[in-house]
């Protein structure tokens, strides 16, 4: 199987300081022995560690950094169960986007919809954008109270 990486990316990842110790161990194992499943990584790296079952948890983090990818599925060597197979990419690590709060995501969506509404000329599309904005504004409003003082859901 062909490799998805380059020596330059490998060197950059190991010297960048962006990845933690366990992330580097997982990346290097995939670089040298990949593609591997999560359990295979745990077995391979866990022999010399007290963190034997947690190496696979670094895969999602490395995926967010853009340095590993899912390359397919195959039976795991230890369990025989179909498992995701992971390998390295030729990418240098890129800082993942920060996780935004719901309010921040709604504010961002509202800004995008407002800008789109400013340039869209089609009445049907503008109407759809307006409805989407009203729905988002409702998500930001405090829950409405009923006559008896009960809170009503926003949905």
Average pLDDT, the chain: 77
Instruction: Quote the pLDDT of residue 152.
Output: 44
The CATH code for residues 7-88 is 1.10.10.10
Cα separations in angstroms, 91 against 23, 46, 57, 61, 94: 15, 26, 20, 14, 8
**Most confident range, picked from 7-11, 69-73, 76-80, 127-131:** 69-73
**Global pTM?**
0.56
List, by residue range, all CATH 1.10.10.10 domains of the chain.
Answer: 7-88
d(CA 23, CA 3): 19
C-alpha 64, offset from chain centre: 5
The answer to whether residues 86 and 70 touch, using CB atoms and an 8 Å cutoff, is yes
What are the DSSP E strand ranges found in the chain?
36-37, 68-75, 82-88
**Residue 155 — very low, low, confident or very high, per pLDDT cuts 50/70/90?**
very low
Instruction: Quote the pLDDT of residue 154.
Output: 43
């Amino acid at each position: 199987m062909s490799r998805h990486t380059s020596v330059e990316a490998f060197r950059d990842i190991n010297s960048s300081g962006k990845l933690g110790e366990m992330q580097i161990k997982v990346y290097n194992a995939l670089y040298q022995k990949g593609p591997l499943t999560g359990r295979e990584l745990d077995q391979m790296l866990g022999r010399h560690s007290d963190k034997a079952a947690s190496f696979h948890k670094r895969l999602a983090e490395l995926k967010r950094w853009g340095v590993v990818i899912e390359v397919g599925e195959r039976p795991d060597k230890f369990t025989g169960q179909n498992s995701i197979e992971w390998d390295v990419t030729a990418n240098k690590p890129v800082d993942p986007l920060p996780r935004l709060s719901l309010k921040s995501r709604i504010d961002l969506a509202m800004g995008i919809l407002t800008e789109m509404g400013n340039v869209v000329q089609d009445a049907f599309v503008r109407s759809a954008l307006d409805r989407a904005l009203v729905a988002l504004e409702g998500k930001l409003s405090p829950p409405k109270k009923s006559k008896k003082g009960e809170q009503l859901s926003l949905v």
